[in-house]
Structure 1
Amino acid sequence: MNLNLKNPIAFIDLETTGINVAKDRIVEICIVKVNPNGDEEVKTYRVNPEMPIPAKSSAIHGIIDEDVKDEPTFKEIGKTIAKYLEGCDLAGYNSNRFDFPLLAEEFLRADIDFDMKKRKFVDVQTIFHKMEQRTLVAAYKFYCNKELEGAHGAEADTKATYEVLKSQLDKYDILENDIDYLAKYSTQNHNVDFAGFIILDENGVETFNFGKNKGVSVEKVLADQPGYYGWVMNSDFPLYTKKVLTEIKLRGFNK
């Protein structure tokens, strides 16, 4: 089943130096862009992360320092990527918890204004886990009846993710071929920031989701504990979390 699209959708997979959204960097990014008419475009970039790639990460994706030492940095290609993704909704595998938060960090570090709020996000892993509870390799075998050659390579994983989503739509009548629906269905938490440090509670109120203020509204904490904002800003939280917190704080000044 082909996707029913109002906007182009970009399937994205990142290979990185590690799994810390706040600190780790991209070493490879693949984008499979699917247009509403069904045409597909594939772009893959190797990226110099400007930091050593740990051996345990290289063991997963096969990319070592030597492979990327002469490649452009994200800051050098970030505007090209942002332009390519203009007007696209975004999709991936475990992307809401990892790929998109880390990509947002890279854009912020490079001082590139890439508005993530205007997009729909479809996480194929969430749909898969709600239905079957497996990995991408197993998902590809289960839905597409194929072996995933080149697993943990950005391009192979990205193309497989796109194929799995189309097969999920064929298999499950309950799923609607609509990106708004799929984005909502594949969202596990009502995160305000990507990492889930700030969420919307059942009343739609922005609330901290960690530490001593878990379950307390952000506006109340900022009003009652003036030093808490500074602590977050000076601690090892993702840049996007800090950006969201700052927006809430500034919004309070205008009330």
Structure 2
Amino acid sequence: MIRNVTCIDIETTGFSRTKDRIVEFAAYRVTEEAGVWRYADKIRKLVNPGISIPPEATAVHGITDEMVRVAPPFSEQADCFIPFLSDTILLGYNVKVFDIPFLTAEIERSGLRWPTAPLEVIDPFIIFKKREAPRHDLASAIRFYTGKERRRAHRAMIDVVDLLRVVKTQTMLYPEFRESPDPIVSLIKATGI
């Protein structure tokens, strides 16, 4: 059986899905069949949030007001994003707590609806938190699973590619995934969402 798995990440103006807005959306879709992952498609778009990006947010992702000044707002780009959220297993770091609620709020503000239900999710954050280090931030997960150090400011597509590496390593490292007849189902169950 061939399945779509889409790794998503967003960068935002802050942490409140009611007050803050998305400034970047990235998705990297792979097809998975019998444990083999193949590139299918990707997207990375800057989004004009319609509000100023606070300096503390820029310090995290490096995206400035000037960079998004001419970018279309989310509502004008939703048609580009929604296909990446449809008919797929979503993969993201702390995706259920952060990315999905933010995307849902932006989609609703655009007068649209979340594309599919029920939503299947793989969250490497939950797997990492249950099994490993006391620090569970994305930089720690990337370091632990890939040996790679992250730059201070990061962009969404860099996170997406690193997350795919993290999940592939988790799949090989932990026997419950490595020895599973269907590692994707095991990853979804381990996420508990």
Shorter-chain TM-score above 0.5: yes
Report what 1:39 is aligned to.
38
Q: CA deviation at 1:149?
A: 4.4
Q: Is contact 1:91-1:121 (8 Å) kept?
A: yes
Paired with 1:150 and 1:71, the residues of 2 have a C-alpha distance of 24
AA of the residue aligned to 1:18: G
Change (3 A) 1:23 1:117: farther
1:135 aligns with 2:140: no
Q: Check the 8 A contact 1:15/1:154 in 2, yes or no.
A: yes
Q: Which secondary structure state, in structure 2, belongs to the residue aligned with residue 97 of structure 1?
A: coil
User: Cα distance, 1:101 vs. partner?
Assistant: 0.9
Amino acid at match of 1:179: I
Find the aligned partners of 2:153 and 2:161 in 1 and give their Cα distance.
11
CA distance in 2, matches of 1:109, 1:136: 28
* Cα distance change of structure 1 residues 20 and 116 upon mapping to structure 2, 3 Å threshold: farther
State the shift of 1:150 in Å. Answer: 6.5
Q: Deviations 1:87-107 (Å, cap 9, x if unpaired)?
A: 111010111110111111111
Amino acid at match of 1:181: S
Give the deviation of 1:183 after TM superposition.
2.1
The separation in 2 between residues aligned to 1:116 and 1:52, in whole angstroms, is 32
Per the TM alignment, residue 116 of structure 1 is displaced from its structure 2 partner at its CA by: 4.5
Alignment correspondent of 2:163: 161
- Alpha-carbon separation, structure 2, partners of 1:104 and 1:31: 16
- State the Cα distance separating 1:151 from its structure 2 match: 5.3
What's the TM-score, normalizing by structure 1? 0.67
* Residue in 1 that maps onto 2:123: 123
Residue correspondences, number: 184
Instruction: Supply the RMSD in Å over aligned alpha carbons.
Output: 1.9
The 8 Å contact of residues 149 and 156 in structure 1, kept in 2 or not, is answered as no
Q: Hey, what does 2:12 align to over in structure 1? A: 16
Q: Quick check: which has more Rg, 1 or 2?
A: 1
2:187 alignment partner, one of 174, 182, 186:
182
Return the alpha-carbon distance in structure 1 between the equivalents of residues 74 and 150 of structure 2: 28
Higher strand share: 2
SS at match of 1:96: coil
Identity of aligned residues (%): 33
- Other-structure match for 1:98: 98
**Corresponding residue for residue 109 of structure 2:** 109
Shift of 1:84: 3.4
- SS for the counterpart of 1:127 is helix
1:252: which partner in 2? none
**C-alpha distance in 2, partners of 1:105/1:64?**
22
User: 1:1-255 maps to which residues of 2 (within 5 A)?
Assistant: 6-36=2-32, 38-40=37-39, 41-133=41-133, 134-149=136-151, 152-175=154-177, 176=180, 177-187=182-192
Distance 2:148 2:83 in 1: 34
SS of the counterpart of 2:168?
A: helix
Give the Cα–Cα distance (whole angstroms) in 1 for the partners of residues 122 and 25 of structure 2: 17
Secondary structure at the residue paired with 2:112?
coil
- Show structure 1 runs of 5+ residues with no match: 191-255
**Post-superposition CA distance 1:1-23 (Å, at most 9, x none):** xxxx7420110111000001222
The superposition leaves residues 159-208 of structure 1 with CA deviations (integer Å, 9 ceiling, x where unpaired) of: 11111001001100023443333223113xx7xxxxxxxxxxxxxxxxxx
What is the DSSP-based 3-state SS (H/G/I as helix, E as strand, rest coil) of the residue aligned with 2:175? coil
